[in-house]
């Protein structure tokens, strides 16, 4: 394998992105997943918070090619998440949805006032909801309901929601409403 230009970046001296490019060169040098199918092998889509402490792949024991993983702030089931789930189910064969929220989520520290504050600062109110919450279990239940009631999703029987504990690495399932 030919060394890439990233090899000229001394370790630890560049930006995080430089580090990623360097890591990717090593990853590509031993890449063995060229034959993976685009359709998730486990027919499952995971919707999770973007929190940096939540390693979805490790926490769920995923292998490359197993699942779609859709992430955003809070793991909220927004219109755009429904868009991804709709494509996941209708075009790529998934039939199950797993929702992963977590303890100590940054979304618990925000309120919908965040939108008002933004408007005051920049002169424009965002069209999106902040999707902040106070009760993580209730937020998981709401997310389950949003998936289950979406008219676009053909598969809404197997939808389960969990809270990941950032102190133990363990999942706790939340019963639907």
- Residues contributing to the site for Zn ion (CB under 5 A): 49, 51, 105
Nearer to Zn ion, 77 or 153 (CB): 77
Token pair, residue 124, equals 């424009």
- C-beta closer to Zn ion: residue 28 or 106: 106
Phi, psi dihedral angles at 144 (to 5 degrees): -60, -45
Tokens at residue 30, please? Answer: 């031993």
Alpha-carbon distance 100 to 109, whole Å?
18
On whether the CB atoms of residues 136 and 104 are closer than 8 A, the answer is no
Identity of the residue, 153 or 163, whose beta carbon is nearer to Zn ion in the bound complex: 163
Beta bridge partners of 72: 49
């Amino acid at each position: 394998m030919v060394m890439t230009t990233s090899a000229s970046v001394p370790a630890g001296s560049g930006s995080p992105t430089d580090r990623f490019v360097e890591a990717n060169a090593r990853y590509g040098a031993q890449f063995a997943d060229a034959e993976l199918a685009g359709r998730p092998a486990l027919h499952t889509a995971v919707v999770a918070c973007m929190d940096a402490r939540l390693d979805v792949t490790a926490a769920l024991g995923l292998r490359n090619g197993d699942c779609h993983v859709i992430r955003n702030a809070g793991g909220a089931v927004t219109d755009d998440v429904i868009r991804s789930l709709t494509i996941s189910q209708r075009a790529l064969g998934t039939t199950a949805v797993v929702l992963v929220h977590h303890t100590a989520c940054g979304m618990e520290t925000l309120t919908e006032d965040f939108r008002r504050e933004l408007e005051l600062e920049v002169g424009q109110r965002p069209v999106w909801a902040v999707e902040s919450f106070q009760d993580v279990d209730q937020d998981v239940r709401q997310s389950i309901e949003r998936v289950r009631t979406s008219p676009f999703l053909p598969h809404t029987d197997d939808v389960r929601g969990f809270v990941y504990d950032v102190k133990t690495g363990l999942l706790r399932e939340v019963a639907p409403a």
